[in-house]
Amino acid sequence: MHSIVPIIMLLGGIAFFTGVFVLARFGMQQIKQVKFFGKEYKLGRFTAATVGSGILLILLSIIIHKSIPYTPETSAQQNLPAQNARSDFEQELALSDITSDAMVSYVKNFQQEYRTALEEGNETTVELLRLELQFRLRTELENQGLEGSQLEQEINRIMARLPQKGK
């Protein structure tokens, strides 16, 4: 939704309810003249103008919302975090001393498959790839001598750097 639509609708609502309020209030008191910003208006003319302009503003906001397509500027910014997250993931793997040739080639293949699954929106494949990577990381880190909570912390730290869908 355009950021101007709620503002126009708010102004229309204020104008409409002002006209209705003035009509109800002054109509009960049988006042025929309304003094507004130093000018005097007949009650019927003032009410028609405020209620009418309120309705027109509300309709204008609906027309703007329906007829003018809105694409937020954040679409270009959404691609940047995914690229940063991928490089963070690679940095985390480098910090974990995962250097065996089999693991490095697996990680390269994993990144290609994971990126493809994210782009296609295939959540099942994404979750299976994450589970497989966790298993491979656990095996590799156990071979390096890590145990228990330190092993789990290292795996969680690496997995947290994977790019997520929609982030």
- Residue-wise pLDDT for 56-86, tens only, equals 999 998 888 888 776 666 544 444 444 444 4
110 and 134 share a domain? yes
- Report yes or no on 166 lying in a domain: no
Dist. CA 55–CA 51, nearest whole Å: 6
State whether residue 100 is helix, strand or coil. Answer: coil
Which residue type sits at 143? Answer: N
* % of the chain at pLDDT higher than 70: 79
134 and 151 share a domain? yes
Q: Which of 28, 30, 29, 22 is nearest to 46 (CA)?
A: 22
Domain boundary among 67, 91, 117: 67
Predicted pLDDT of residue 72: 63
Dist. CA 17–CA 81, nearest whole Å: 45
126 and 146 share a domain? yes
Domain boundary among 46, 67, 88: 67
Question: pTM for the complete prediction?
Answer: 0.44
Q: Domain range for residue 38?
A: 4-67
- Report yes or no on 164 lying in a domain: no
- Residue-wise pLDDT for 131-160, tens only, equals 888 888 888 878 877 777 777 888 787 777
Domain count, the chain: 2
99, 100, 101, 103: CA torsion to nearest 10: -90
